[in-house]
Structure 1
Amino acid sequence: MIDARAVIDPEARIEEGVHIGAFTVIGPGVSIGKGTWIGSHVVITGTTHIGQDCKIYQFASLGEAPQDLGYRDEETALEIGDRTVIREYVTISRGTPKGGAVTRVGTDNLIMAYVHIAHDCLVGNHVVFSNAASLAGHCQVGDRAVLGGFTLVHQFCRVGSHAFTSMGSALNRDLPPYCMASGNYARAIGINKIGLRRRGYSGETIRALQRTFRHLVDGRNREQGLAAVAPLVQAYPEVADFVAFVRESPRGILRTDRRRSTD
């Protein structure tokens, strides 16, 4: 299961059933879970933990030092959950001390070719990164979000759960959960109705989220919007998540008008 031409440090921890292809390099601080498949010419270094049944394609680079001028070779980590697929030329850096010292990618994610996930990012579960999508440092992406090809996310920005970005979107503010964004710079364009229907959300819930979007994203007065959706918060947990995300947003959220992309 391990090609004789692979270079594996004896201190690396490789569990049973792992496949490692030719010319792949595995460093001393790496641990790889059961059943994970790693192709040829992959480099995995640093303190990097990879879960079970992952699939990592050729020329990926995982756990390398962060691209941060303040980094001084401190001990930091990268964690990747189970059943995550990482395609060709993906780069994922480990964390920095000032950002929590860990970059974390959850379970059941699909990370397509040429994606970059920078230091200290926190990515949830069942997330899709389309080709060449990139996160700058300290970004957060919620569960089941979908980032379209060539999406760019500014450092410290958050993308909420079930959110969707179209091809070439450039996010410089937070994108609330259940919402869609498009453009450079991106603007919010509505609720991710198709994605939510596919995931079994009721029409009633989607309509409640649409009302919330109109008041909090399309509306001009935040406090009036929060007051207007207060009854929905009690009835719909999804609206409660939406409202909590907006309240907790340090950078402000994307709006429907690019000129009003701040709070």
Structure 2
Amino acid sequence: MSIHPTAIVEDGAEIDPSVAIGPYSIIESGAVIGPGCRIESCVRIFANTRMGRDNRVCHGVTLGSEPQDLTFTPEKARPLTIGDRNHFKEGVNISCGVKSEEGTRIGSDNFWMAFSHAGHDCVVGDHNIFANTATLAGHVEVEDRTFISGQVAVHQFCRIGSLAMVAGVTGVAQDVPPYALVDGHRARMLGLNVVGLRRNGFTQEQRSRIKAVYRLLLRSGLKQAEALARAEQDYPGPETDHILNFIRSSRRGLVSFD
């Protein structure tokens, strides 16, 4: 284990012997840090944080900090659980949980650029990119392989579907469905995240199916229940199932479509 002499590691912190900890970082009692993690300078990892392997935590990051919730008291704190191979750039802040027993959950292989933030009780999947100052309010759910651009603000309880892209300086107040590209002061769906789909190996057939499903749902003039049933019948496939399940489980409704 490599621990800089200026770092503070409290008794009761569980640190794998392969972990490196840089100058002026603080690891609180109760924190768990897995193999191969690299904790750089001036990082603070709070007590309820559980981290997997091979994560990189850059200068000034705070993980598991108190949520920005006026009702919070220390006894309400719930875990922050982090998977493997995440990269947290300078100044990233992720809150611990407070409302749910599972707390805040971050998957694996996510890239958090400088000063991005996830509030309490967020659930984030795998292979997502959060650009500079992208902000998730409490209880936001992000699926897999999304791109959340700079200065995006996502309202609490919203969901971002897999392979969606949110353009910069966008306010997201409703759910963003899978594979979509959204933009606007209040996010509006502009079309499909075609570049992201191609980069992730979606075939022309798959992309055409997704496009056809959204055309039916958004432009056919059918009532939603009828359009969902038609899409399921006319365009069967895993992408269709994903879209329909996402819409049927939406609590806040979807972003509007131009």
- Aligned partner of 2:88 in structure 1 is 86
Report the Cα distance in structure 1 between the residues aligned to 2:101 and 2:189, rounded to whole angstroms.
Answer: 30
- Whether the 8 Å contact between 2:48 and 2:79 is mirrored in structure 1 is yes
Cα distance per residue 1:185-218 (max 9 Å; x no partner): 0101111111111111110110110111122245
- Aligned partner of 2:139 in structure 1 is 138
The correspondence of residues 5-154 of structure 1 with structure 2, limited to 5 A, is 5-73=6-74, 74-96=76-98, 98-154=99-155
Report the Cα distance in structure 2 between the residues aligned to 1:108 and 1:40, rounded to whole angstroms.
Answer: 21
Report the Cα distance in structure 2 between the residues aligned to 1:5 and 1:218, rounded to whole angstroms.
Answer: 61
Cα distance per residue 1:105-144 (max 9 Å; x no partner): 0001100001010000000000110111000000000011
- Whether the 8 Å contact between 2:78 and 2:100 is mirrored in structure 1 is no
Range moving further from structure 2, 81-90 or 208-217: 208-217
Q: Quick check: 1:175 aligned with 2:176? A: yes
Range moving further from structure 2, 10-19 or 214-223: 214-223
- Whether the 8 Å contact between 1:124 and 1:142 is mirrored in structure 2 is yes
**SS of residue matched to 1:180:** strand
- Whether the 8 Å contact between 1:191 and 1:213 is mirrored in structure 2 is no
TM-score, structure 2 as length reference? 0.95
- Aligned partner of 1:215 in structure 2 is 216
Report the Cα distance in structure 2 between the residues aligned to 1:102 and 1:217, rounded to whole angstroms.
Answer: 35
- Aligned partner of 1:184 in structure 2 is 185
- Whether the 8 Å contact between 1:109 and 1:127 is mirrored in structure 2 is yes
Q: What amino acid sits opposite 1:76 in the alignment?
A: R
Report the Cα distance in structure 2 between the residues aligned to 1:27 and 1:156, rounded to whole angstroms.
Answer: 29
Q: What amino acid sits opposite 2:48 in the alignment?
A: T
Residue 67 of structure 1, CA deviation? 1.1
Report the Cα distance in structure 1 between the residues aligned to 2:234 and 2:147, rounded to whole angstroms.
Answer: 26
- Whether the 8 Å contact between 2:64 and 2:80 is mirrored in structure 1 is yes
Range moving further from structure 2, 33-42 or 190-199: 190-199
- Whether the 8 Å contact between 2:153 and 2:171 is mirrored in structure 1 is yes
Instruction: Report how many aligned residue pairs link the two structures.
Output: 255
Report the Cα distance in structure 2 between the residues aligned to 1:93 and 1:123, rounded to whole angstroms.
Answer: 13
Residue 232 of structure 1, CA deviation? 4.2
Residue 228 of structure 1, CA deviation? 2.8
Residue 11 of structure 1, CA deviation? 0.7
The correspondence of residues 239-250 of structure 1 with structure 2, limited to 5 A, is 239-250=240-251
Alignment gaps of 5+ in structure 2:
none
**SS of residue matched to 2:196:** helix
Residue 80 of structure 1, CA deviation? 0.9
Report the Cα distance in structure 2 between the residues aligned to 1:135 and 1:121, rounded to whole angstroms.
Answer: 8
Residue 101 of structure 1, CA deviation? 4.7
- Aligned partner of 2:207 in structure 1 is 206
Q: Quick check: 1:225 aligned with 2:251? A: no
- Residues 146/232 of structure 1: CA separation in 2 closer, same or farther (3 Å cut): farther
Residue 68 of structure 1, CA deviation? 1.1
- Whether the 8 Å contact between 1:33 and 1:53 is mirrored in structure 2 is yes
- Residues 219/128 of structure 1: CA separation in 2 closer, same or farther (3 Å cut): farther
Alignment gaps of 5+ in structure 1:
258-263
